[in-house]
Amino acid sequence: MRVNGQVARLGARAEPDSDTVDVDGVGIGVAPSLRYYLLHKPTGVVSTADDPQGRPTVVSLVPSDQRVFPVGRLDLDTEGLLLLTNNGPLTHQLTHPSHGVEKEYMVWVEGSPARGTLRILRQGVELDDGVTAPARVALVAPDLLRLVIHEGRNRQVRRMCEAVGHPVRRLVRIRIGPLSDRKLKPGQWRELTVAEVRELEQAAAAGLCCRRRTGVGRWPPHEPITAAGGNACRS
Ligand code: URA
């Protein structure tokens, strides 16, 4: 058992309103002061808590009764799901490279990637900070990829696509581990349910995320995307 990420000794105490308690990485109860917001970040909004240039921040789009921070980042010109929380230990787990929580993106690119290009994206792309880990990639439309990665390098999807000759025109994140929500429109947010918080904690602890629910190697992990997202995946 751990309190605030530290292994608890016999007789350790925890403050239910402010401390996080977990057994094998899975939390017990949701402390009332902990906040978990799932935001659909629009383009033009920065993923930091403050911006010296005075641009709108993701933090300014969610309630301010408790100070929350974004878990990872989306580029200024990237849209889609971003988690904001004041749960520091969970943030640390989710952003730690070794935990590898999956992130899924819809990627509109220039041109139409060939089968060989998809293979390179799947196997790993040589970038200036090293080869990327294997990704899951499906071509949804001639210029639209659905891509799942579990690393969180700076501008990784853009750099991967650029490296294989297909610069990104539009990038939307549609899933973070077990979290997705097609109903959330740009600028909208909602609180996570208790069940979602549990799932997220389990995903972060296991570092496997969603594979438990979807089965290793099964693709696509969710139902076919429609309307703006195109049609069913085909690899
Ligand atoms: N990859 C990118 O290139 N940009 C993002 O915002 C997220 C992932």
Residues marked active site are found at 75
Domain ranges of the chain: 1-32, 34-206
Is any ligand 1 atom within 6 A of the Cβ of residue 170?
Answer: no
Question: If one looks up domain 34-206 in CATH, what number appears?
Answer: 3.30.2350.10
Tens-digit pLDDT profile for residues 72-119 = 999 999 999 999 999 999 999 898 876 678 999 999 999 999 999 999
> How many other C-beta atoms are found inside a 10 Å radius of the C-beta of residue 184?
15
- The CA distance from 57 to 90, in Å, is 21
Tens-digit pLDDT profile for residues 7-35 = 888 778 776 556 667 766 666 656 778 99
Q: What is the CA radius of gyration of the chain?
A: 18
pLDDT at 30: 61
Tell me the whole-structure pTM to 2 decimals: 0.79
Is any ligand 1 atom within 6 A of the Cβ of residue 157?
Answer: yes
- The CA distance from 218 to 153, in Å, is 25
Is any ligand 1 atom within 6 A of the Cβ of residue 58?
Answer: no
- Ligand 1 atom with the smallest distance to the CA of 105 is 8
